[in-house]
């Protein structure tokens, strides 16, 4: 406005003022036209499609624990604005540490019933059960040994003496123990937490908890199928490895103690990195794409690192029902928050394909892999971390050539990117340290994707041969490095030899992959590298 007033004071012509007005009004229009495409979000559906795919995969009346913002807000958005799958109770695990949010999840929202609970507001309000210490046998031995030294009668803390030998209780009994109040328990709490704080804190007498399995309810709720029954356990023994329970873990314990397998319970993939987020139920989970379902079927740790069992047919339909976020549109640029979902899409398709292939359903496996490849093109999103599962899937599904071609493209691109970083000045290399650091790991992921596929197919010799061949390009880089050192004087060669650390990580990651096939290989290769360096620096 000030600029317009200044110009008008200098220019008296009405015609000039009109022309000036047109020009100034045109500026925002021009800005709008020029910036429309990069700011147009009409075709950007990654967040909504993720939420749709996430909720669509869940069973009726599910309780789903979600963890980060990217898990939470898209899911809440389509539940609230579209009433899509509003039968699902979404519980943000982080917010579950606050009394006001606990009150919310204990109420019905839309068509989602509250979480099962026997705790009242007075049991989790501020200043109550803020921390719960989990006692172990050694703790009880220490207490009763001290009492004996002090000459206390055997009847003191008599109600707790059984925990000298009893090391587990049911989850239901654990919640009852927390609610239980007595003068003796208060004395015990004062011993641990002091006179001033004992009312804020609590204890549990053990760190092992029993979750009984109601098979009939689990069957009715669709948590298991009739075919699963021979594998279903009667109870789950949970060893809680943390020393302390906070309110969010307390509420998860409360829910597990009271749900009686009448409703499915899932945990978002975003929280699986920490066993505490799933109440240490890692070995009783079923992979369902963007989440893991609690099932009364034991699945131990897998050699490939994948967590949980797979229901092949269920996972096939989950992938078929995905909405893919329009990642295939070449005219759309997504930010890192949106593209982080690609890992989940590809990993699910790859894992489903591998499971289908092993069950003899190779055509269905290829169908899913081709679908994922079409919806999220490798040419546009070439992240080796997510594409490695596709490599494995294609090899196991019988399209070995396609899988190996994809692997070679990825390996070539990894080296090209790494060599680019090496070509930069030392200052820029420092700034790119994080990007450089992940390249050796990415290379090993691609290689292990191939070797794991061969191993699952019982083709260990092929796996070993591929691994040895994949080390050859690194040997070549090392030999060039040694050759360059030989051209230098001794002092300079000694100084420059430290740069072997820019090659060594590629070896180190692949040594881990090699270990199951040849336990002596890494030692021999390390000796070879050391001898070459010593020779050239003497």
Q: What letter does residue 232 receive in the DSSP assignment?
A: B
Domain boundaries, the chain: 2-39, 48-135+168-294
pLDDT score, position 5: 59
pLDDT score, position 380: 93
Report how far residue 162's alpha carbon sits from residue 167's, in angstroms, rounded to the nearest whole number.
9
pLDDT score, position 6: 55
Render pLDDT for 52-110 as a digit per residue (tens, 0 to 9). 999 999 999 999 999 988 889 999 999 999 999 999 999 999 999 999 999 999 999 99
Residue 464: which residues within 8 A CB-CB, separation 6 or more? 451, 517, 518
pLDDT score, position 17: 63
pLDDT score, position 486: 87
Q: Per-residue DSSP letters for 100-145?
A: HHHHHHTS-BTTBPPPP----HHHHSTTSSSEEEE--HHHHHHHHH
Query: Radius of gyration of the chain from Cα atoms?
Result: 30
pLDDT score, position 81: 96
Q: What letter does residue 500 receive in the DSSP assignment?
A: G
Report how far residue 209's alpha carbon sits from residue 46's, in angstroms, rounded to the nearest whole number.
40
Helices 384-396/400-423 angle, 10° precision: 160
Cross-strand pairs, 133: 203, 244
pLDDT score, position 30: 66
Low pLDDT (below 50) residues in the chain: none
pLDDT score, position 493: 83
The pTM of the full predicted model, rounded to 2 decimals, is 0.89
pLDDT score, position 151: 85
Reduced to 3 states (helix: H, G, I; strand: E, B; else coil), residue 457 is: coil
Render pLDDT for 128-186 as a digit per residue (tens, 0 to 9). 999 999 999 999 999 999 988 888 888 888 889 999 999 999 999 999 999 999 999 99
Q: Per-residue DSSP letters for 336-400?
A: HHHHTHHHHHHHHHHHHHHHHHHTT-HHHHHHHHHHHHHHS-TTT---HHHHHHHHHHHHHTT-H
Report how far residue 117's alpha carbon sits from residue 416's, in angstroms, rounded to the nearest whole number.
56
């Amino acid at each position: 406005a000030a600029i317009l007033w200044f110009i008008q004071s200098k220019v008296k012509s009405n015609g000039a003022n009109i022309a000036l007005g047109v020009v100034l009004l045109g500026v925002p229009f021009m800005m709008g036209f020029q910036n429309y495409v990069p700011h147009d979000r009409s075709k950007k559906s990654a967040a909504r499609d993720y939420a749709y795919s996430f909720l669509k995969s869940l069973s009726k009346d599910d309780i789903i624990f979600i963890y980060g913002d990217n898990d939470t807000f898209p899911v809440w958005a389509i539940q609230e604005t579209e009433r899509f799958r509003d039968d699902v109770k979404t519980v943000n695990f982080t917010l579950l540490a606050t009394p006001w949010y606990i009150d919310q999840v204990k109420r019905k929202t839309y068509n989602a019933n509250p979480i099962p609970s026997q705790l009242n507001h007075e049991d989790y309000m501020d200043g109550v059960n803020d921390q719960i210490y989990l006692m172990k046998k050694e703790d009880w031995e220490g207490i009763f040994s001290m009492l004996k030294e002090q000459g206390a009668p055997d009847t003191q803390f008599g109600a707790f003496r059984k925990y000298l030998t009893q090391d587990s209780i049911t989850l239901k009994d654990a919640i009852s123990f927390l609610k239980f109040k007595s003068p003796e328990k208060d004395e015990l709490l004062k011993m641990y937490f002091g006179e001033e704080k004992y009312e804020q804190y609590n204890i549990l007498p053990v760190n092992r908890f029993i979750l009984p399995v109601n098979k009939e309810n689990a069957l009715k709720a669709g948590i298991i199928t009739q075919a699963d029954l021979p594998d279903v356990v009667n109870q789950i023994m949970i060893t809680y490895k943390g020393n302390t329970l906070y309110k969010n873990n307390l509420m998860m314990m409360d829910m597990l103690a009271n749900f009686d397998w009448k409703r499915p319970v899932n945990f978002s993939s975003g929280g699986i990195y920490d066993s505490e987020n799933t109440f240490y139920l890692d070995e009783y989970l079923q992979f369902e794409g963007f989440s893991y379902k609690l099932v009364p079927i034991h699945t131990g740790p897998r050699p490939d690192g994948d967590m949980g069992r797979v229901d092949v047919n269920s996972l096939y339909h989950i992938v078929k029902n995905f909405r893919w976020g329009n990642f295939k549109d070449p005219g759309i640029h997504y930010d890192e928050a949106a593209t982080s979902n690609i890992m989940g899409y590809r990993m699910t398709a790859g894992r489903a394909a591998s499971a289908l292939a092993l069950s003899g359903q190779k055509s269905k496996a290829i169908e899913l892999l081709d679908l994922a490849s079409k919806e999220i093109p490798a040419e546009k999103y070439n992240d080796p971390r997510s594409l490695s599962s596709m490599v494995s899937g294609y090899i196991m599904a019988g399209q070995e050539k396609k899988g190996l071609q994809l692997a070679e493209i990825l390996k070539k691109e990894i080296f090209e990117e790494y060599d680019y970083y090496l070509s930069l000045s030392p200052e820029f290399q420092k700034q790119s340290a994080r990007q450089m650091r992940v390249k050796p790991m990415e290379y090993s992921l691609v290689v292990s994707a191939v070797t794991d596929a061969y191993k699952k197919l019982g083709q260990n010799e092929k796996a070993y041969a591929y691994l040895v061949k994949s080390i050859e390009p690194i040997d070549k880089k090392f030999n060039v490095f040694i050759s360059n050192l030989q051209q230098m004087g001794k002092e300079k060669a000694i100084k420059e030899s430290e740069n072997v650390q820019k090659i060594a990580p590629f070896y180190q990651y692949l040594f881990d992959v090699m270990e199951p096939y040849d336990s002596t290989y890494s030692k021999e290769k390390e000796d070879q590298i050391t001898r070459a360096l010593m020779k050239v620096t003497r």
